[in-house]
Chains A and B, each alone.
Chain A
């Protein structure tokens, strides 16, 4: 049972480049989330989705975009990478609110 799978695990980007962080879950969960984790700051919600075709902004959405065309996939797009986007990104899913969120292993992104 794979759970939540994120790719890539590591990536170095140059300023101004774009990339997509992939997230796939095989648990048929309706809810999916993208968080970024910075040292001493905890996790901040970037975007979330309550089902295919439905997305909404979290606390720190600027510089990012998402789409949810299927239940399984929730990619995060960085259009013009900036050093402030250097972080560890976590994707998570849950079957509903007030239930356990299952996290991927994370993507460590460095923008230079």
Chain B
């Protein structure tokens, strides 16, 4: 069965600094990869996704992620964060053809002035 590991439960960072949120997955078959963001008291919304093709994926709000098959990773990055990026970020994997997302435990990004 596939699984997703987000090693960092919380990442504090100063405004305008770069950030990387780590995500590793395990699966013996091909997968689709997603990053979702959850703002306080809201549902989740899609940041970006990797289905195939270029391993560097760009998403909304200046975020990007790189798929690394050999390291089974899909880390999320932003070169300069803003206060409004404070939220919880979830990495998710979907085994191709199974229509079910498996989520990681989430990483809380805390951006301070």
**Taking beta carbons and an 8 Å cutoff, which residues of A are in contact with B?**
4, 31, 33, 35, 40-45, 48, 50, 58, 90, 92, 94, 96-98, 100-101, 103-106
Contacts and interface: CB of A to CB of B under 8 A. Distances in A.
Given A50-B99, A100-B46, A105-B43, A43 B90 contact: yes
B9 to A, nearest CB: 7
A95 to B, nearest CB: 11
Contacts of A42: 4, 6, 90, 103-106
Given A42-B106, A48-B99, A98 B43 contact: no
9 closest residue pairs by CB, A with B: A103-B43, A97-B99, A42-B105, A43-B103, A42-B103, A100-B46, A103-B44, A98-B32, A105-B43
B42 A105 contact: yes
Contact of B43 (A44, A48, A96, A106): A106
18 contacts: A40-B105, A42-B6, A42-B103, A45-B102, A48-B99, A96-B99, A97-B96, A97-B99, A98-B32, A98-B49, A98-B51, A100-B46, A100-B49, A104-B43, A105-B42, A105-B43, A106-B42, A106-B43
Contacts of B90: 42-43
Residue among A35, A40, A43 facing the most chain B CB atoms (10 A cut-off): A43
Given A40-B106, A48-B100, 14 more contacts: A35-B103, A42-B4, A42-B104, A43-B101, A45-B100, A45-B101, A92-B44, A94-B99, A96-B99, A97-B99, A100-B46, A101-B46, A103-B43, A103-B45
A90 B99 contact: no
A96 B32 CA distance: 13
A48 B106 CA distance: 21
Contacts of B97: 97
Contacts of A45: 100-102
B74 to A, nearest CB: 15
A103 B37 CA distance: 11
A90 B96 contact: no
Contacts of A101: 44, 46, 101
